[in-house]
Chains A and B, each alone.
Chain A
Amino acid sequence: MGVLRTIGIRALTLIGVVIAVLLMLVIVLGVTGLSDKMLKAIADQILMEIRQGLAREIKDPEALKAAIEQQRMEIYAAFGLDKPWYARIPDMVVRVMTFDLGYTRTIKSFTGSQRVADIIWERLPNTILLVTTAIAISAVLGLIIGVKVATRPGSRLDRVASYFSAISFALPTWWTGIIFIFVFAFYFRLFPFGGMYSAPPPEEPLARFLDLLWHAALPVTTLVVALVGSWIYVTRTIVLNTAQEDFVAAARAKGLPESVVRRRYIIRVAAPPILTNIVLGLAGSIGGAIITETVFQWPGMGSLYYQAIFSLEENLIIALTFIFTVVYVAARFILEILYIVLDPRVRY
């Protein structure tokens, strides 16, 4: 009963988080006037370009004015500027919470759909293939190497791993990406320089998938190189701290074999914080990697979010924020349960 109550409280708290995030979004977009201002600026800029073009075609000044006014009304209506923010944004939020994600204004899927669900559904696998894979590989490598070097502190392997971690952590992803492109795509010509498919892309589904994997190799490697350092360092630190605890010394003093000490006394104790990193990292990965996606022209969730903000696609911003928050909350919920399972003392 105690466990269920704890889980119930956690669930309620996390639902509160979702509502709070969406409320903050409404405040940022609507109450501050940001959304109206940005949309109006974009609409006016479009109108200005239209005015420039029309002035070259319509030679009657009055007709030109009328045409521009008509266009203004059309564009404002298309942007939702004919309604105040409080009649627009909260409505979107409520709809999104019922998983009716709506339509975008301009952004569309490769198949031409402007349904937000279609767009996200199209981009999500790309991001999972790129970012989630890279985080998973980094986490596994970080775990293996981190544990290994933590058990041999001060060794040559530890020093090499520490230097590598520092370098990896310091490398800007975009820079690494461009260097990799120059070296592996243009110099050695081992991988393509970007995009998801060759030009022309293979027609066969399997060949097309393999082509996709080939194109993913370089960006995934870039991300792994940029991420693995911090994974090694974090794992090493956690494991090392645990290995220096008194109960580990006591276990060793009892004469237990080192493998048992490592497995039962060190790794199990160090597991919750490492697990937190892994789960939250994987959950966060669906947010994409804007810079890597841009450098490698990989249409994932990161660039989608960037596009949505840049063109102020309110529907898409709200939908993506909602989805990211829900995924984060779900991950946190899973973690809460795992904590309880892994550590019987956890009841709060």
Chain B
Amino acid sequence: MRKIIWVLLPVLFAALLMASTPMVAAQYQPPHTNPGPAVDRIIVRSFDLDIAPAALEAGDMDYYLFAIRAEAAAELRDKGFEIYSAPAGLVDIIVNPAPAPEGELNPFSIPEVRFALNYIVDRDFVVNEIYKGAAAPMITFLSSFDYDYVTIFDIIARYEFTYDIDYAKSLVEEAMKEAGAELVDGIWHYNGKPIVLKFIIRTEDERREIGDAFASALEQLGFQVERLYMEFGQAIDTVYGTDPAEFQWHLYTEGWGKGAPEKYDSVTINQFCAPWVGFMPGWATEGFWQYENPELDELGLRIYRGEYTDLEQRNQLYRKATEICILESIRIWVATRLDPFPASPDVQGLTEDTGAGLRAPWNMREAYVPGENELTVGHLWVWTETTVYNPVGGFEDVYSVDVWRNLYDIAIARHPFTGAPMPFRATYKVETAGPFGKLPIPEDAVIWDAENDRWVPVGAGAQATSKITYDLSKYTQANWHHGQKISMADFIYGIAQLFDIVYDPEKAEYESPIAATVKPTLDTFKGFRFVDENTLEVYVDYWHFDENYIAEYGFLRNADSGHMPWEILAAMDKVVFEDRAAAYSQETSTKNQVPWLSLVIEDDARMVRDALQEFLDTEFFPESWFRVGDKVWFTKEEALQRYQAAINWFDEKGILVISDGPFYLNDFDPAAQFAELVAFRDPSYPFKPGDWYFGRPQPVEVLTLDVEDVEPGAEATFTFTVSGPGTLAAKYLVIDPATGELYDVGDAVEVAPGEFEIKLSPRLTRSFLPGEYKVVVAAFSDQVSLVGSRSEFFEVLELPMGVQTVTVTTTAVETQVVTTTVGAQTVTTTVTTTRTETVETVPPTIWAIFAIVLIIAVAATAFVVRRRS
């Protein structure tokens, strides 16, 4: 029963969340069919968190890009406002597993004790009371908002991670006694001294209450808990800044921001389970004691590097790593926090992105209020000190990114409901020989020679794992915001600029923070072919079983970087590298006491403008950057025209943010906390309203689940119906609710569209004893990362009256040995699955004896009568 609750809670929560939201996809009517966004103008301005709800009610803004408080969201919902939610943060309790010094005992160095902690988190209380429903419970590093949740659905069910202090106590007692500890007056002692746990509890948010509840539960287990209430700085310094072997902490209420949804996770599992990344105790800091687990490292690295042949193999690796991670229990997972974003009910065209909520790039493009031509969008801030608009080392805070993502068009975007890469403004074709093979690179492919500032052929015999051919015509057949035509030369310069920053020793030294982080990625790029004005071929050492991921990896200037005309990039390069008057990155800016170049700050933008003026005056043209083989992809005349257009842009607006997206930045005032975005209605712009509207994620729902009574030894069939978008699939599990024993788990078979069937084999049903059992089904779609679920009880019948069974029991024990290294200590955990099969034989009953006696009597009578006659 306990298992079921915790398998079901997250999925039910997700289903409830979605079920409570109307399906509006079909209702969206684009206001017009002109190129560009739905509205002509968007004002982005700052609203304090406390007054944002009132401002929304007063009509001073149409929607808010910053998450409001849960209570305020509930009030607004009651008043008819729309609330869009997005999972925003993860909360867990991390434990310190370092071995204690001689003569002492750290209970958390014992995996069984750590494992027991999973049962002392009252997740129901956390979600409903502490987060007031604006959260979803977690029992591993994934929640029902993650696509891979389905991959490990049954593993989660196998462990009874519900709130059960007594069970936890029994586990702890066994393990502690084995380690030599004694329970004296309800307190664990070792070598005559009480065991005291230092629990660092963050105080700024709900983690204070979570920590207090967890500490109380630990006390019930018999541990003395020293509660250390700390804010950010002190806590971070103590937990991540000290050697775990110093034992300045035993437990810590850890919090994490949740990244964008990822269809096939390769990072989260490594981040939260595998020590090699540096997120496990010891933090890969030299000189510190390190939590080690070679098996998790190996599995994690194979997932991370893509060392598998297909999805099936990848899922096996993922499941195995998850299982070990759960048994290790270095992190005790608590909840996923949901951020509520409010919007006026009048606003049409909003998409509930499962990663970014209303901050996603779809919304400003599509949103409008019927009858109005502009929107006011609120944010906590429009400008802060780290709001820096430069496409090389800027765009590091949400306030700049949330505006910028509406000013440019990404080539390959992430789907708002699945997190899978998908074509946005570029289309592509992928060829790959991966994971183990190589493709030849054509000899005329080129690579940037940073020392000589020119493109050089890759030469004969060069190879790469994958080749991606991009169709960039939606860019190259359109214009930049300043009216100049987008050219392949812009892509050529953009790629060369990155290579130059990384491989030109002088540039790499000046902007070492960028060079160091980009170099490992650039090292995997083996060649480029600029085929024609619309087509780019990229050769790269990267493989994934999903080709969309290869395409995304291969598009170098996909995200925040790039998407500016080459002359702006060149002028910025001059300001940064030649004049050393500014820096691309914050670290270089601080180190050299020069501005962190931001194109919305007038003084900074003026430096770039002056560089452009110098280019114009000296008729500067970096021909070698555009010469590929015999072809030069841009002319000096075009360059001079571009310089003038960019200068005019600055002279008119005082800022220099020029890009290729649906809006251009017309005005930006840091002091007034104000930005004005104006629709880019150029006829060459390829998108119009409605092209990128997704609405709310359509829920995957299990509508019906029909079960029948099961006769032991007979086949049983359950059917259920599922509604949802895309291709649907489902898994099931059968469980004894009384004992929590898992009887069966498997994939349901789709017998008709939306109709699924589960067949329980005679062999399985023979193992059931009479009584009540439960079947749980989880349905999922390839188009949304949220899981739908339903469960039903079914009855296992007794055999017909008078038929008694004699049970012959055979027990098969499946044993899996998991070896874990904790410091110098190697712990072997044996996971034993016991499957009991019962075979019934029908014994003679009184009725059978009576029948036999009757037959004998009849036979005897017949014999006697016959003899007499």
Q: Give A residues with C-beta under 8 Å from B.
A: 37-38, 40-42, 44-45, 48-52, 54-61, 63-68, 70-71, 74-75, 77-79, 103, 105-108, 110-114, 178, 181-182, 186, 189, 193-201, 294-295, 297, 299, 307, 312
Give Cα distance in the complex from A112 to B575, angstroms. 15
Residue B284 interfacial (CB < 8 Å):
yes
Give Cα distance in the complex from A38 to B238, angstroms. 11
Residues of A within 8 A of B233 (CB): 37-38, 41-42, 312
Give Cα distance in the complex from A80 to B54, angstroms. 43
Interface residues in B665-707 (C-beta closer than 8 Å to A): 667, 669-674, 676
**What's the minimum C-beta distance from B273 to chain A, rounded to whole angstroms?**
13
Which of A41, A74, A110, A194 makes the CB contact (< 8 A) with B670? Answer: A110
Interface residues in B371-427 (C-beta closer than 8 Å to A): 376, 383, 385-386
Q: Are the CB atoms of A59 and B524 closer together than 8 Å? A: yes
**What's the minimum C-beta distance from A241 to chain B, rounded to whole angstroms?**
42
Q: Are the CB atoms of B589 and A200 closer together than 8 Å? A: no
- Smallest CB-CB separation from B376: which chain A residue? A199
**What's the minimum C-beta distance from A28 to chain B, rounded to whole angstroms?**
14
Q: Are the CB atoms of A40 and B241 closer together than 8 Å? A: yes
Give Cα distance in the complex from A329 to B292, angstroms. 58
Q: Are the CB atoms of A70 and B512 closer together than 8 Å? A: yes
Take A41-B233, A199-B43 as given contacts and tell me if A186 and B55 are in contact as well, using a CB distance cutoff of 8 Å: yes
Residues of B within 8 A of A54 (CB): 517
Residue B659 interfacial (CB < 8 Å):
no
Which of B232, B267, B276 makes the CB contact (< 8 A) with A56? Answer: B267
Take A63-B520, A63-B523 as given contacts and tell me if A51 and B277 are in contact as well, using a CB distance cutoff of 8 Å: yes
Which of B51, B305, B516 makes the CB contact (< 8 A) with A70? Answer: B516
**What's the minimum C-beta distance from B6 to chain A, rounded to whole angstroms?**
27
When A and B form their complex, which 10 residue pairs have the shortest distance between CB atoms, in order from nearest? A63-B520, A70-B516, A112-B601, A197-B672, A41-B236, A58-B520, A199-B674, A78-B590, A110-B670, A41-B237
Q: Are the CB atoms of B672 and A59 closer together than 8 Å? A: no
Residues of A within 8 A of B671 (CB): 110, 196-197, 201, 299
- Smallest CB-CB separation from B542: which chain A residue? A59
Q: Are the CB atoms of A59 and B304 closer together than 8 Å? A: yes
Residue B865 interfacial (CB < 8 Å):
no
Q: Give B residues with C-beta under 8 Å from A.
A: 43, 45-48, 50-51, 54-55, 57-58, 60, 232-237, 240-241, 257, 259, 267, 270-271, 276-279, 284, 301, 304-306, 376, 383, 385-386, 512-513, 516-517, 519-521, 523-524, 542, 586-587, 589-591, 593, 595-596, 598, 601-604, 667, 669-674, 676
- Smallest CB-CB separation from B43: which chain A residue? A199
Take A55-B277, A71-B513, A71-B516 as given contacts and tell me if A195 and B524 are in contact as well, using a CB distance cutoff of 8 Å: no
Give Cα distance in the complex from A103 to B237, angstroms. 25
- Smallest CB-CB separation from A80: which chain B residue? B590
Q: Are the CB atoms of B520 and A64 closer together than 8 Å? A: yes
**What's the minimum C-beta distance from B512 to chain A, rounded to whole angstroms?**
6
Q: Are the CB atoms of B523 and A178 closer together than 8 Å? A: no
Q: Is the interface of A mostly helix, strand, loop or mixed?
A: helix
Take A58-B520, A106-B586 as given contacts and tell me if A41 and B241 are in contact as well, using a CB distance cutoff of 8 Å: yes
**What's the minimum C-beta distance from B522 to chain A, rounded to whole angstroms?**
10
Known: A41-B232, A51-B277, A106-B386. 16 other contacts (CB 8 A): A37-B233, A41-B234, A41-B241, A44-B237, A59-B304, A67-B516, A67-B520, A112-B596, A113-B595, A114-B596, A194-B51, A199-B672, A199-B674, A200-B674, A201-B669, A297-B46
A-B contacts counted at CB < 8 A amount to 185
- Smallest CB-CB separation from B600: which chain A residue? A112
Give Cα distance in the complex from A108 to B600, angstroms. 14
Q: Are the CB atoms of B519 and A63 closer together than 8 Å? A: yes
Take A182-B54, A195-B673, A201-B669 as given contacts and tell me if A55 and B270 are in contact as well, using a CB distance cutoff of 8 Å: yes
Residues of B within 8 A of A194 (CB): 46-48, 51
Give Cα distance in the complex from A63 to B601, angstroms. 35
Residues of B within 8 A of A78 (CB): 586-587, 590-591
Give Cα distance in the complex from A57 to B521, angstroms. 7
**What's the minimum C-beta distance from A209 to chain B, rounded to whole angstroms?**
13
**What's the minimum C-beta distance from A189 to chain B, rounded to whole angstroms?**
8
Give the most central of B236, B257, B676: most A CB within 10 Å: B236
The contact sample of 19 A-B pairs, CB cut-off 8 A, is A41-B237, A41-B241, A50-B517, A52-B259, A57-B521, A59-B306, A61-B305, A66-B520, A70-B517, A186-B60, A194-B47, A194-B51, A195-B673, A198-B672, A199-B43, A199-B45, A199-B673, A200-B674, A201-B671
Give Cα distance in the complex from A71 to B588, angstroms. 11
Q: Are the CB atoms of A51 and B604 closer together than 8 Å? A: no
Q: Are the CB atoms of B46 and A195 closer together than 8 Å? A: yes
**What's the minimum C-beta distance from A63 to chain B, rounded to whole angstroms?**
3
- Smallest CB-CB separation from A103: which chain B residue? B593
Residues of B within 8 A of A70 (CB): 512-513, 516-517
Give Cα distance in the complex from A59 to B466, angstroms. 15
Which of B259, B385, B676 makes the CB contact (< 8 A) with A107? Answer: B385
Which of A50, A103, A106 makes the CB contact (< 8 A) with B385? Answer: A106
Residues of A within 8 A of B234 (CB): 37, 41
**What's the minimum C-beta distance from B464 to chain A, rounded to whole angstroms?**
14
Residues of A within 8 A of B524 (CB): 59-60
Residues of A within 8 A of B589 (CB): 114
**What's the minimum C-beta distance from A208 to chain B, rounded to whole angstroms?**
9
